[in-house]
Structure 1
Amino acid sequence: MRKDRKKANLPSLNDLIEKFSQEDVIAVMEKEYQSAPAKLIPSSLIDDTPFIKEVVVPESTIDTFAAGLQEKGFYNPLVVRPKGDRYELILGRKRFLGAKKAGILSLPCAIVEVGDEEELLMLLADTRDQRDTNVVEMALICEALQRDFGYTQQTLAELSHQSRSQITNILRILKLPSSIRQSICLGELSYGHARALASLPEKEMGELLDKIESEKLSVRDVESLVRLEKKGHVTDQQKLLLDAFPNADEVSIQAKSVTFRFADVKAKEKFIKKLLKSRKGS
Protein backbone atom coordinates (compact mmCIF):
# COMPACT_ATOMS: atom_id res chain seq x y z
CA MET A 1 0.00 0.00 0.00
CA ARG A 2 2.86 2.40 0.79
CA LYS A 3 4.40 1.70 -2.63
CA ASP A 4 1.05 2.45 -4.30
CA ARG A 5 0.85 5.75 -2.40
CA LYS A 6 4.36 6.69 -3.52
CA LYS A 7 3.62 5.87 -7.16
CA ALA A 8 0.38 7.87 -7.08
CA ASN A 9 2.14 10.77 -5.30
CA LEU A 10 -0.30 10.51 -2.37
CA PRO A 11 0.39 11.52 1.26
CA SER A 12 1.80 8.71 3.41
CA LEU A 13 -0.52 6.92 5.81
CA ASN A 14 1.48 8.29 8.77
CA ASP A 15 1.05 11.86 7.48
CA LEU A 16 -2.71 11.35 7.06
CA ILE A 17 -3.08 9.85 10.55
CA GLU A 18 -1.06 12.68 12.11
CA LYS A 19 -3.14 15.32 10.31
CA PHE A 20 -6.63 13.87 10.80
CA SER A 21 -6.19 12.66 14.38
CA GLN A 22 -5.79 16.28 15.54
CA GLU A 23 -8.86 17.48 17.39
CA ASP A 24 -9.24 20.79 15.57
CA VAL A 25 -8.39 19.68 12.01
CA ILE A 26 -11.88 20.38 10.59
CA ALA A 27 -12.19 23.71 12.46
CA VAL A 28 -8.83 24.80 11.00
CA MET A 29 -9.89 23.72 7.51
CA GLU A 30 -13.22 25.54 7.77
CA LYS A 31 -11.42 28.70 8.92
CA GLU A 32 -9.26 28.53 5.79
CA TYR A 33 -12.31 27.96 3.56
CA GLN A 34 -14.13 30.83 5.28
CA SER A 35 -11.37 33.32 4.41
CA ALA A 36 -11.03 32.09 0.80
CA PRO A 37 -13.49 33.27 -1.88
CA ALA A 38 -16.41 30.83 -2.15
CA LYS A 39 -18.05 29.85 -5.42
CA LEU A 40 -21.83 29.92 -5.76
CA ILE A 41 -22.98 26.56 -7.12
CA PRO A 42 -26.58 25.65 -8.04
CA SER A 43 -27.90 23.17 -5.45
CA SER A 44 -29.16 21.02 -8.34
CA LEU A 45 -25.52 20.32 -9.30
CA ILE A 46 -24.47 19.07 -5.85
CA ASP A 47 -24.87 15.40 -4.93
CA ASP A 48 -24.89 14.04 -1.40
CA THR A 49 -21.79 12.10 -0.36
CA PRO A 50 -22.33 8.40 -1.17
CA PHE A 51 -20.42 7.22 1.91
CA ILE A 52 -23.07 8.31 4.43
CA LYS A 53 -26.10 8.68 2.18
CA GLU A 54 -28.06 6.08 4.15
CA VAL A 55 -27.82 8.20 7.33
CA VAL A 56 -31.25 9.77 7.78
CA VAL A 57 -31.32 13.27 9.27
CA PRO A 58 -34.43 13.96 11.40
CA GLU A 59 -36.92 16.28 9.71
CA SER A 60 -36.92 18.55 12.77
CA THR A 61 -33.13 19.05 12.40
CA ILE A 62 -33.49 19.88 8.70
CA ASP A 63 -36.26 22.39 9.54
CA THR A 64 -34.02 24.06 12.15
CA PHE A 65 -31.18 24.45 9.65
CA ALA A 66 -33.58 25.68 6.96
CA ALA A 67 -34.96 28.38 9.28
CA GLY A 68 -31.45 29.42 10.38
CA LEU A 69 -30.20 29.74 6.79
CA GLN A 70 -33.24 31.77 5.75
CA GLU A 71 -32.68 34.13 8.67
CA LYS A 72 -28.87 34.42 8.80
CA GLY A 73 -27.51 32.86 5.61
CA PHE A 74 -24.31 30.78 5.42
CA TYR A 75 -21.58 31.42 7.99
CA ASN A 76 -19.25 28.84 6.43
CA PRO A 77 -19.30 27.56 2.84
CA LEU A 78 -20.12 23.94 2.10
CA VAL A 79 -17.09 21.84 1.16
CA VAL A 80 -17.44 19.97 -2.13
CA ARG A 81 -15.22 18.21 -4.64
CA PRO A 82 -15.63 18.13 -8.44
CA LYS A 83 -17.15 14.97 -9.93
CA GLY A 84 -17.28 15.24 -13.72
CA ASP A 85 -19.61 18.15 -14.52
CA ARG A 86 -21.18 17.96 -11.04
CA TYR A 87 -20.01 18.26 -7.43
CA GLU A 88 -20.01 15.88 -4.47
CA LEU A 89 -20.70 17.18 -0.97
CA ILE A 90 -18.06 16.51 1.69
CA LEU A 91 -18.78 18.79 4.68
CA GLY A 92 -21.95 20.65 5.63
CA ARG A 93 -24.59 17.95 5.04
CA LYS A 94 -27.20 19.35 7.44
CA ARG A 95 -26.79 22.84 5.98
CA PHE A 96 -27.09 21.34 2.48
CA LEU A 97 -30.34 19.53 3.35
CA GLY A 98 -31.62 22.63 5.18
CA ALA A 99 -30.85 24.83 2.15
CA LYS A 100 -32.74 22.46 -0.15
CA LYS A 101 -35.71 22.50 2.25
CA ALA A 102 -35.60 26.31 2.34
CA GLY A 103 -35.54 26.47 -1.47
CA ILE A 104 -32.13 28.20 -1.65
CA LEU A 105 -31.02 27.64 -5.23
CA SER A 106 -27.34 28.70 -5.12
CA LEU A 107 -25.01 27.63 -2.33
CA PRO A 108 -21.58 29.06 -1.36
CA CYS A 109 -19.01 26.28 -1.71
CA ALA A 110 -15.30 25.75 -1.17
CA ILE A 111 -14.06 23.38 -3.89
CA VAL A 112 -11.31 20.95 -2.87
CA GLU A 113 -9.43 18.39 -4.94
CA VAL A 114 -9.32 15.25 -2.79
CA GLY A 115 -9.68 11.53 -3.42
CA ASP A 116 -12.04 9.10 -1.69
CA GLU A 117 -9.59 8.33 1.12
CA GLU A 118 -9.09 11.95 2.14
CA GLU A 119 -12.82 12.64 1.84
CA LEU A 120 -13.50 9.75 4.23
CA LEU A 121 -10.90 11.06 6.68
CA MET A 122 -12.49 14.52 6.56
CA LEU A 123 -15.90 12.96 7.21
CA LEU A 124 -14.52 10.87 10.09
CA ALA A 125 -12.86 13.88 11.76
CA ASP A 126 -16.04 15.93 11.32
CA THR A 127 -18.27 13.18 12.75
CA ARG A 128 -15.85 12.60 15.64
CA ASP A 129 -15.82 16.29 16.62
CA GLN A 130 -19.59 16.83 16.51
CA ARG A 131 -21.39 16.90 19.85
CA ASP A 132 -24.27 14.80 18.53
CA THR A 133 -22.06 12.16 16.90
CA ASN A 134 -24.11 9.72 14.85
CA VAL A 135 -22.77 6.24 15.50
CA VAL A 136 -24.18 4.85 12.22
CA GLU A 137 -22.35 7.59 10.33
CA MET A 138 -19.08 6.76 12.09
CA ALA A 139 -19.59 3.04 11.45
CA LEU A 140 -20.15 3.56 7.70
CA ILE A 141 -17.05 5.76 7.39
CA CYS A 142 -14.86 3.34 9.37
CA GLU A 143 -16.13 0.39 7.32
CA ALA A 144 -15.31 2.19 4.04
CA LEU A 145 -11.77 3.05 5.24
CA GLN A 146 -11.27 -0.55 6.38
CA ARG A 147 -12.73 -2.10 3.21
CA ASP A 148 -11.36 0.22 0.53
CA PHE A 149 -8.05 1.35 2.03
CA GLY A 150 -7.05 -1.43 4.42
CA TYR A 151 -7.23 0.64 7.62
CA THR A 152 -6.88 -1.48 10.76
CA GLN A 153 -9.21 -1.09 13.73
CA GLN A 154 -6.25 0.24 15.73
CA THR A 155 -5.65 3.01 13.16
CA LEU A 156 -9.37 3.83 13.10
CA ALA A 157 -9.29 4.00 16.91
CA GLU A 158 -6.44 6.55 16.80
CA LEU A 159 -8.24 8.66 14.20
CA SER A 160 -11.60 8.63 15.98
CA HIS A 161 -10.18 9.01 19.53
CA GLN A 162 -11.84 5.75 20.58
CA SER A 163 -10.48 2.50 21.96
CA ARG A 164 -10.06 -0.48 19.64
CA SER A 165 -12.91 -2.32 21.39
CA GLN A 166 -15.18 0.71 20.88
CA ILE A 167 -14.43 0.61 17.14
CA THR A 168 -15.28 -3.12 17.09
CA ASN A 169 -18.63 -2.37 18.75
CA ILE A 170 -19.34 0.58 16.44
CA LEU A 171 -18.72 -1.57 13.34
CA ARG A 172 -21.11 -4.23 14.71
CA ILE A 173 -23.93 -1.70 14.32
CA LEU A 174 -23.78 -2.31 10.55
CA LYS A 175 -24.94 -5.90 11.14
CA LEU A 176 -28.30 -4.52 12.28
CA PRO A 177 -31.20 -4.36 9.78
CA SER A 178 -31.55 -1.00 7.99
CA SER A 179 -34.81 -0.26 9.86
CA ILE A 180 -32.99 -0.43 13.21
CA ARG A 181 -30.08 1.66 11.89
CA GLN A 182 -32.63 4.26 10.79
CA SER A 183 -34.14 4.29 14.30
CA ILE A 184 -30.66 5.09 15.68
CA CYS A 185 -30.24 7.95 13.16
CA LEU A 186 -33.61 9.41 14.11
CA GLY A 187 -32.82 9.24 17.83
CA GLU A 188 -35.56 6.66 18.49
CA LEU A 189 -33.02 4.09 19.69
CA SER A 190 -29.81 4.74 21.61
CA TYR A 191 -26.41 3.35 20.68
CA GLY A 192 -26.38 1.36 23.94
CA HIS A 193 -29.65 -0.37 23.02
CA ALA A 194 -28.41 -1.03 19.48
CA ARG A 195 -25.09 -2.46 20.68
CA ALA A 196 -26.93 -4.97 22.86
CA LEU A 197 -29.29 -5.94 20.02
CA ALA A 198 -26.43 -6.46 17.53
CA SER A 199 -25.38 -9.73 19.18
CA LEU A 200 -28.78 -11.41 18.59
CA PRO A 201 -30.19 -13.25 15.54
CA GLU A 202 -32.50 -11.02 13.45
CA LYS A 203 -35.77 -12.63 14.62
CA GLU A 204 -34.98 -12.19 18.33
CA MET A 205 -33.70 -8.70 17.52
CA GLY A 206 -37.12 -7.63 16.17
CA GLU A 207 -38.97 -9.13 19.14
CA LEU A 208 -36.73 -7.38 21.65
CA LEU A 209 -36.97 -4.08 19.75
CA ASP A 210 -40.78 -4.19 20.12
CA LYS A 211 -40.30 -4.83 23.85
CA ILE A 212 -37.88 -1.87 24.15
CA GLU A 213 -40.43 0.45 22.53
CA SER A 214 -43.51 -0.81 24.38
CA GLU A 215 -41.93 -1.14 27.84
CA LYS A 216 -39.39 1.73 27.58
CA LEU A 217 -36.57 -0.58 28.63
CA SER A 218 -33.24 0.86 29.77
CA VAL A 219 -29.94 -0.22 28.21
CA ARG A 220 -29.17 -2.29 31.32
CA ASP A 221 -32.55 -4.04 31.05
CA VAL A 222 -31.85 -4.90 27.41
CA GLU A 223 -28.35 -6.20 28.18
CA SER A 224 -29.82 -8.51 30.86
CA LEU A 225 -32.50 -9.79 28.45
CA VAL A 226 -29.87 -10.41 25.76
CA ARG A 227 -27.81 -12.49 28.20
CA LEU A 228 -30.89 -14.54 29.09
CA GLU A 229 -31.71 -14.98 25.39
CA LYS A 230 -28.19 -16.22 24.70
CA LYS A 231 -28.32 -18.62 27.62
CA GLY A 232 -31.34 -20.25 25.98
CA HIS A 233 -29.04 -21.36 23.12
CA VAL A 234 -26.11 -22.62 25.18
CA THR A 235 -25.12 -25.97 26.66
CA ASP A 236 -25.39 -26.74 30.38
CA GLN A 237 -21.62 -26.26 30.77
CA GLN A 238 -21.73 -22.85 29.07
CA LYS A 239 -24.72 -21.83 31.19
CA LEU A 240 -22.88 -22.74 34.40
CA LEU A 241 -19.89 -20.62 33.37
CA LEU A 242 -22.06 -17.65 32.29
CA ASP A 243 -23.97 -17.83 35.58
CA ALA A 244 -20.69 -17.90 37.50
CA PHE A 245 -19.23 -15.01 35.47
CA PRO A 246 -22.13 -12.70 34.45
CA ASN A 247 -19.72 -10.08 33.05
CA ALA A 248 -18.97 -12.41 30.11
CA ASP A 249 -21.17 -12.13 27.02
CA GLU A 250 -20.29 -15.47 25.42
CA VAL A 251 -18.30 -18.57 26.27
CA SER A 252 -16.90 -21.13 23.85
CA ILE A 253 -15.83 -24.56 25.14
CA GLN A 254 -13.39 -26.58 23.04
CA ALA A 255 -11.59 -29.87 23.80
CA LYS A 256 -8.53 -28.12 25.29
CA SER A 257 -9.67 -24.53 25.83
CA VAL A 258 -12.39 -22.26 27.19
CA THR A 259 -12.79 -18.81 25.58
CA PHE A 260 -14.78 -15.94 27.09
CA ARG A 261 -15.96 -12.94 25.04
CA PHE A 262 -16.92 -9.55 26.49
CA ALA A 263 -18.97 -6.56 25.33
CA ASP A 264 -16.14 -4.17 26.24
CA VAL A 265 -12.87 -3.77 28.14
CA LYS A 266 -14.68 -2.79 31.36
CA ALA A 267 -16.61 -6.08 31.41
CA LYS A 268 -13.38 -8.02 30.81
CA GLU A 269 -11.64 -6.21 33.72
CA LYS A 270 -14.55 -7.04 36.07
CA PHE A 271 -14.30 -10.69 34.99
CA ILE A 272 -10.55 -10.80 35.76
CA LYS A 273 -11.10 -9.16 39.19
CA LYS A 274 -13.76 -11.74 40.05
CA LEU A 275 -11.50 -14.57 38.87
CA LEU A 276 -8.59 -13.33 41.00
CA LYS A 277 -10.89 -12.83 43.99
CA SER A 278 -12.25 -16.38 43.74
CA ARG A 279 -8.69 -17.72 43.46
CA LYS A 280 -7.64 -15.90 46.66
CA GLY A 281 -10.67 -17.26 48.49
CA SER A 282 -9.92 -20.88 47.56
Structure 2
Amino acid sequence: MPKKALGKGLEALLPKGNQKEAQALIEIPLDHIDTNPHQPRKDFSAEQLEELAASISDSGVLQPIIVQQQDQRYIIVIGERRVRASRLAGKTTIPAIVKKYSPKNFLRLALIENIQREDLNPIEQAFAFKAYMEQFKVTQEELAAQLNKDRSVIANTVRLLNLPPVVQDQLRLGAISAGHARNLLSLKEPAEQIMLSERIMKESWSVRETEQFFKKARRKRAKKAPSKIKRGDPHLNAVREQMIRYLGTKVTVVPNNRGGQIIINYFDEQDFNRLVDLILK
Protein backbone atom coordinates (compact mmCIF):
# COMPACT_ATOMS: atom_id res chain seq x y z
CA MET A 1 0.00 0.00 0.00
CA PRO A 2 1.26 3.56 -0.72
CA LYS A 3 1.23 4.59 2.95
CA LYS A 4 3.87 2.03 3.87
CA ALA A 5 6.23 3.44 1.28
CA LEU A 6 6.92 6.55 3.36
CA GLY A 7 9.33 4.83 5.68
CA LYS A 8 11.43 3.63 2.72
CA GLY A 9 12.41 7.06 1.43
CA LEU A 10 11.42 9.17 -1.54
CA GLU A 11 12.43 6.66 -4.18
CA ALA A 12 9.64 4.36 -2.98
CA LEU A 13 7.09 6.97 -3.95
CA LEU A 14 8.34 7.49 -7.50
CA PRO A 15 6.35 5.81 -10.28
CA LYS A 16 7.89 2.61 -11.63
CA GLY A 17 7.67 3.75 -15.23
CA ASN A 18 10.11 3.51 -18.10
CA GLN A 19 13.62 3.54 -16.61
CA LYS A 20 15.16 5.29 -19.62
CA GLU A 21 12.58 8.03 -19.34
CA ALA A 22 13.18 8.27 -15.58
CA GLN A 23 16.91 8.83 -16.11
CA ALA A 24 16.62 11.24 -19.06
CA LEU A 25 18.06 14.62 -18.15
CA ILE A 26 17.17 17.91 -19.79
CA GLU A 27 18.33 21.47 -19.18
CA ILE A 28 15.35 23.64 -18.21
CA PRO A 29 15.46 27.45 -18.22
CA LEU A 30 15.20 28.67 -14.64
CA ASP A 31 12.66 31.30 -15.63
CA HIS A 32 10.32 28.49 -16.75
CA ILE A 33 10.26 26.91 -13.28
CA ASP A 34 7.66 27.62 -10.57
CA THR A 35 7.76 26.70 -6.89
CA ASN A 36 5.51 23.99 -5.54
CA PRO A 37 2.35 25.48 -3.96
CA HIS A 38 2.29 22.53 -1.53
CA GLN A 39 5.83 23.19 -0.31
CA PRO A 40 5.62 23.53 3.50
CA ARG A 41 9.16 24.86 3.71
CA LYS A 42 9.04 28.66 3.89
CA ASP A 43 12.43 29.64 5.33
CA PHE A 44 15.71 29.16 3.46
CA SER A 45 18.96 30.09 5.17
CA ALA A 46 20.62 32.90 3.23
CA GLU A 47 24.04 31.70 4.39
CA GLN A 48 23.42 28.13 3.25
CA LEU A 49 22.07 29.32 -0.10
CA GLU A 50 25.22 31.41 -0.58
CA GLU A 51 27.37 28.37 0.14
CA LEU A 52 25.39 26.21 -2.28
CA ALA A 53 25.51 28.95 -4.92
CA ALA A 54 29.30 29.12 -4.60
CA SER A 55 29.50 25.34 -5.03
CA ILE A 56 27.24 25.48 -8.09
CA SER A 57 29.40 28.25 -9.57
CA ASP A 58 32.48 26.06 -9.19
CA SER A 59 31.14 22.59 -10.00
CA GLY A 60 27.63 23.02 -11.40
CA VAL A 61 24.48 21.29 -10.12
CA LEU A 62 25.64 17.78 -9.18
CA GLN A 63 22.17 16.32 -8.59
CA PRO A 64 19.30 17.13 -10.96
CA ILE A 65 16.04 18.46 -9.64
CA ILE A 66 12.75 16.66 -10.25
CA VAL A 67 9.91 18.61 -11.86
CA GLN A 68 6.46 18.04 -13.29
CA GLN A 69 5.39 19.83 -16.45
CA GLN A 70 2.26 21.96 -16.35
CA ASP A 71 1.32 23.60 -19.64
CA GLN A 72 4.47 25.37 -20.84
CA ARG A 73 6.04 25.59 -17.38
CA TYR A 74 7.48 23.24 -14.76
CA ILE A 75 6.66 22.83 -11.06
CA ILE A 76 9.38 21.80 -8.62
CA VAL A 77 8.76 18.45 -6.95
CA ILE A 78 12.19 18.06 -5.36
CA GLY A 79 15.06 20.55 -5.39
CA GLU A 80 13.84 24.06 -4.57
CA ARG A 81 17.09 24.92 -2.76
CA ARG A 82 19.09 24.01 -5.86
CA VAL A 83 16.83 26.21 -7.98
CA ARG A 84 17.21 29.17 -5.62
CA ALA A 85 20.97 28.72 -5.36
CA SER A 86 21.34 28.38 -9.14
CA ARG A 87 19.53 31.68 -9.65
CA LEU A 88 21.78 33.22 -7.01
CA ALA A 89 24.82 31.88 -8.87
CA GLY A 90 23.64 33.56 -12.06
CA LYS A 91 22.78 30.35 -13.90
CA THR A 92 20.09 30.43 -16.58
CA THR A 93 19.32 26.70 -16.79
CA ILE A 94 19.34 23.71 -14.45
CA PRO A 95 19.51 19.93 -15.09
CA ALA A 96 16.19 18.28 -14.37
CA ILE A 97 14.27 15.04 -14.63
CA VAL A 98 10.69 15.58 -15.81
CA LYS A 99 8.18 13.18 -14.31
CA LYS A 100 4.42 12.86 -14.36
CA TYR A 101 2.50 12.20 -11.16
CA SER A 102 -1.12 11.87 -10.26
CA PRO A 103 -2.33 14.85 -8.16
CA LYS A 104 -2.32 12.62 -5.07
CA ASN A 105 1.23 11.33 -5.57
CA PHE A 106 2.44 14.82 -6.47
CA LEU A 107 1.23 16.23 -3.15
CA ARG A 108 2.36 13.16 -1.21
CA LEU A 109 5.89 13.39 -2.58
CA ALA A 110 6.12 17.15 -2.03
CA LEU A 111 5.06 16.82 1.61
CA ILE A 112 7.06 13.76 2.53
CA GLU A 113 10.22 15.17 0.91
CA ASN A 114 10.06 17.99 3.41
CA ILE A 115 8.91 15.95 6.41
CA GLN A 116 11.98 13.74 6.04
CA ARG A 117 14.40 16.68 5.99
CA GLU A 118 16.39 17.13 9.18
CA ASP A 119 16.87 20.89 8.78
CA LEU A 120 13.23 21.95 8.85
CA ASN A 121 12.44 24.32 11.69
CA PRO A 122 9.79 23.05 14.16
CA ILE A 123 6.99 25.23 12.75
CA GLU A 124 7.64 24.11 9.17
CA GLN A 125 7.64 20.51 10.36
CA ALA A 126 4.39 21.07 12.27
CA PHE A 127 2.70 22.49 9.17
CA ALA A 128 4.01 19.57 7.09
CA PHE A 129 2.66 16.98 9.56
CA LYS A 130 -0.71 18.74 9.73
CA ALA A 131 -0.99 19.12 5.95
CA TYR A 132 -0.16 15.48 5.38
CA MET A 133 -2.66 14.20 7.94
CA GLU A 134 -5.44 16.43 6.61
CA GLN A 135 -4.78 15.66 2.95
CA PHE A 136 -4.42 11.89 3.29
CA LYS A 137 -6.84 11.40 6.20
CA VAL A 138 -4.37 9.64 8.48
CA THR A 139 -4.16 9.84 12.26
CA GLN A 140 -1.14 10.84 14.30
CA GLU A 141 -0.60 7.17 15.12
CA GLU A 142 -0.63 6.20 11.44
CA LEU A 143 1.73 9.01 10.42
CA ALA A 144 4.09 8.13 13.28
CA ALA A 145 4.18 4.51 12.11
CA GLN A 146 4.87 5.56 8.51
CA LEU A 147 7.75 7.80 9.59
CA ASN A 148 9.11 5.41 12.23
CA LYS A 149 8.61 8.02 14.94
CA ASP A 150 6.86 7.97 18.30
CA ARG A 151 3.32 9.33 18.22
CA SER A 152 4.32 11.83 20.91
CA VAL A 153 6.78 13.41 18.47
CA ILE A 154 3.97 14.06 15.98
CA ALA A 155 1.56 15.27 18.68
CA ASN A 156 4.04 17.61 20.39
CA THR A 157 5.16 19.08 17.08
CA VAL A 158 1.63 19.77 15.80
CA ARG A 159 0.69 21.34 19.16
CA LEU A 160 3.21 24.10 18.45
CA LEU A 161 0.69 25.54 15.97
CA ASN A 162 -1.50 26.46 18.98
CA LEU A 163 1.01 29.12 19.99
CA PRO A 164 0.37 32.77 19.06
CA PRO A 165 1.81 33.78 15.65
CA VAL A 166 4.44 36.01 17.26
CA VAL A 167 5.76 33.07 19.32
CA GLN A 168 5.68 30.81 16.25
CA ASP A 169 7.85 33.39 14.47
CA GLN A 170 10.34 33.37 17.35
CA LEU A 171 10.49 29.57 17.12
CA ARG A 172 10.79 29.66 13.33
CA LEU A 173 13.74 32.07 13.57
CA GLY A 174 15.46 30.05 16.28
CA ALA A 175 15.09 32.73 18.98
CA ILE A 176 13.53 30.05 21.20
CA SER A 177 13.68 26.27 20.88
CA ALA A 178 10.96 23.65 20.61
CA GLY A 179 11.70 22.73 24.23
CA HIS A 180 10.99 26.30 25.32
CA ALA A 181 7.83 26.36 23.20
CA ARG A 182 6.43 23.14 24.66
CA ASN A 183 6.70 24.66 28.13
CA LEU A 184 4.84 27.77 26.95
CA LEU A 185 1.95 25.57 25.83
CA SER A 186 1.14 24.89 29.48
CA LEU A 187 -0.06 28.51 29.71
CA LYS A 188 -3.65 29.00 28.59
CA GLU A 189 -3.53 32.71 27.79
CA PRO A 190 -1.75 33.85 24.59
CA ALA A 191 -0.70 37.06 26.36
CA GLU A 192 1.10 34.99 29.01
CA GLN A 193 2.79 32.87 26.36
CA ILE A 194 4.05 35.97 24.56
CA MET A 195 5.25 37.59 27.78
CA LEU A 196 7.14 34.48 28.89
CA SER A 197 8.70 33.89 25.47
CA GLU A 198 10.05 37.44 25.49
CA ARG A 199 11.46 36.89 28.96
CA ILE A 200 13.07 33.61 27.87
CA MET A 201 14.84 35.46 25.06
CA LYS A 202 15.77 38.49 27.14
CA GLU A 203 17.25 36.46 29.99
CA SER A 204 18.66 33.67 27.76
CA TRP A 205 16.96 30.89 29.71
CA SER A 206 17.91 27.33 28.91
CA VAL A 207 15.14 24.77 28.47
CA ARG A 208 15.98 23.41 31.93
CA GLU A 209 15.69 26.86 33.49
CA THR A 210 12.35 27.30 31.76
CA GLU A 211 11.10 23.97 33.12
CA GLN A 212 12.19 24.93 36.64
CA PHE A 213 10.36 28.25 36.33
CA PHE A 214 7.13 26.48 35.42
CA LYS A 215 7.51 23.91 38.19
CA LYS A 216 7.88 26.73 40.71
CA ALA A 217 4.87 28.53 39.25
CA ARG A 218 2.73 25.37 39.44
CA ARG A 219 3.60 24.90 43.10
CA LYS A 220 2.50 28.46 43.84
CA ARG A 221 -0.76 27.91 41.98
CA ALA A 222 -1.48 24.61 43.73
CA LYS A 223 -3.40 26.50 46.40
CA LYS A 224 -7.15 26.59 46.13
CA ALA A 225 -8.12 28.51 43.00
CA PRO A 226 -10.68 31.32 43.39
CA SER A 227 -14.09 30.98 41.85
CA LYS A 228 -14.33 32.13 38.25
CA ILE A 229 -16.53 34.73 36.60
CA LYS A 230 -19.96 33.54 35.68
CA ARG A 231 -20.11 32.71 32.03
CA GLY A 232 -23.28 34.75 31.69
CA ASP A 233 -21.52 38.08 32.29
CA PRO A 234 -19.95 39.04 28.96
CA HIS A 235 -19.01 42.53 30.18
CA LEU A 236 -16.78 41.25 32.98
CA ASN A 237 -15.23 38.68 30.66
CA ALA A 238 -14.47 41.37 28.08
CA VAL A 239 -12.87 43.63 30.70
CA ARG A 240 -10.83 40.71 32.03
CA GLU A 241 -9.54 39.94 28.52
CA GLN A 242 -8.48 43.58 28.08
CA MET A 243 -6.59 43.49 31.38
CA ILE A 244 -4.83 40.23 30.40
CA ARG A 245 -3.69 41.73 27.10
CA TYR A 246 -2.46 44.91 28.79
CA LEU A 247 -0.72 43.30 31.76
CA GLY A 248 0.54 40.17 30.00
CA THR A 249 -0.40 37.86 32.86
CA LYS A 250 -3.33 35.92 34.29
CA VAL A 251 -6.13 38.07 35.70
CA THR A 252 -9.12 36.70 37.65
CA VAL A 253 -12.26 38.72 38.37
CA VAL A 254 -14.33 37.38 41.27
CA PRO A 255 -17.66 39.23 41.63
CA ASN A 256 -19.95 38.99 44.66
CA ASN A 257 -23.25 40.56 45.61
CA ARG A 258 -21.94 44.10 46.12
CA GLY A 259 -18.42 44.20 44.74
CA GLY A 260 -15.72 41.64 44.19
CA GLN A 261 -12.02 41.09 43.68
CA ILE A 262 -9.54 41.55 40.84
CA ILE A 263 -6.69 39.06 41.26
CA ILE A 264 -3.50 39.65 39.23
CA ASN A 265 -0.99 36.80 39.11
CA TYR A 266 2.78 37.32 38.97
CA PHE A 267 5.54 34.77 38.65
CA ASP A 268 8.34 36.24 40.74
CA GLU A 269 9.70 39.49 42.17
CA GLN A 270 10.83 40.78 38.78
CA ASP A 271 7.44 40.11 37.25
CA PHE A 272 5.79 41.81 40.27
CA ASN A 273 7.86 44.96 39.72
CA ARG A 274 6.96 44.94 36.03
CA LEU A 275 3.25 44.80 36.84
CA VAL A 276 3.54 47.54 39.45
CA ASP A 277 5.18 49.81 36.88
CA LEU A 278 2.39 49.11 34.38
CA ILE A 279 -0.39 49.74 36.91
CA LEU A 280 1.11 52.92 38.35
CA LYS A 281 2.06 54.38 34.97
Same fold, judged at TM 0.5 (above): yes
What's the counterpart of residue 6 of structure 2? 20
Letter in 2 for 1:19: A
Identity %: 25
Q: 1:26 to 1:125 in 2, by over 3 A?
A: farther
- 1:130-209 superposed matches below 5 A: 130-200=117-187, 201-209=189-197
What's the counterpart of residue 79 of structure 1? 66
- Normalising to structure 2: TM-score of the pair? 0.66
Letter in 2 for 1:175: N
What is the DSSP-based 3-state SS (H/G/I as helix, E as strand, rest coil) of the residue aligned with 2:176? coil
Q: 1:68 to 1:153 in 2, by over 3 A?
A: same
Tell me the alpha carbon deviations over residues 132-159 of structure 1, each in whole angstroms, 9 at most, x when there is no partner: 3433232222211222221111111022
Q: Do the aligned residues in 2 keep the contact of 1:173 with 1:195 (CA within 8 Å)? A: yes
- Could you tell me how far apart the structure 2 residues matched to 1:208 and 1:34 are? 55
- 1:1-282 superposed matches below 5 A: 15-22=1-8, 24-26=9-11, 36-53=23-40, 55-200=42-187, 201-227=189-215, 236=224
Q: Do the aligned residues in 2 keep the contact of 1:55 with 1:136 (CA within 8 Å)? A: no
Tell me the alpha carbon deviations over residues 205-264 of structure 1, each in whole angstroms, 9 at most, x when there is no partner: 2211211211111112223334556677777279xxxxxxxxxxxxxxxxxxxxxxxxxx
- Could you tell me how far apart the structure 2 residues matched to 1:33 and 1:107 are? 20
- Could you tell me how far apart the structure 1 residues matched to 2:207 and 2:20 are? 41
- Normalising to structure 1: TM-score of the pair? 0.66
- Structure of higher CA gyration radius: 2
- Shift in Å at residue 186 of structure 1? 3.5
What is the DSSP-based 3-state SS (H/G/I as helix, E as strand, rest coil) of the residue aligned with 1:21? helix
What is the DSSP-based 3-state SS (H/G/I as helix, E as strand, rest coil) of the residue aligned with 1:90? strand
What's the counterpart of residue 269 of structure 1? none
What is the DSSP-based 3-state SS (H/G/I as helix, E as strand, rest coil) of the residue aligned with 2:175? coil
- Could you tell me how far apart the structure 2 residues matched to 1:48 and 1:234 are? 52
- Could you tell me how far apart the structure 1 residues matched to 2:30 and 2:222 are? 55
What is the DSSP-based 3-state SS (H/G/I as helix, E as strand, rest coil) of the residue aligned with 2:174? coil
Q: Do the aligned residues in 1 keep the contact of 2:29 with 2:94 (CA within 8 Å)? A: yes
Q: 5+ unaligned residues in a row in structure 2: which ranges?
A: 227-281
Q: Do the aligned residues in 1 keep the contact of 2:114 with 2:128 (CA within 8 Å)? A: no
Q: More helix by proportion, 1 or 2? A: 1
- Could you tell me how far apart the structure 2 residues matched to 1:164 and 1:129 are? 16
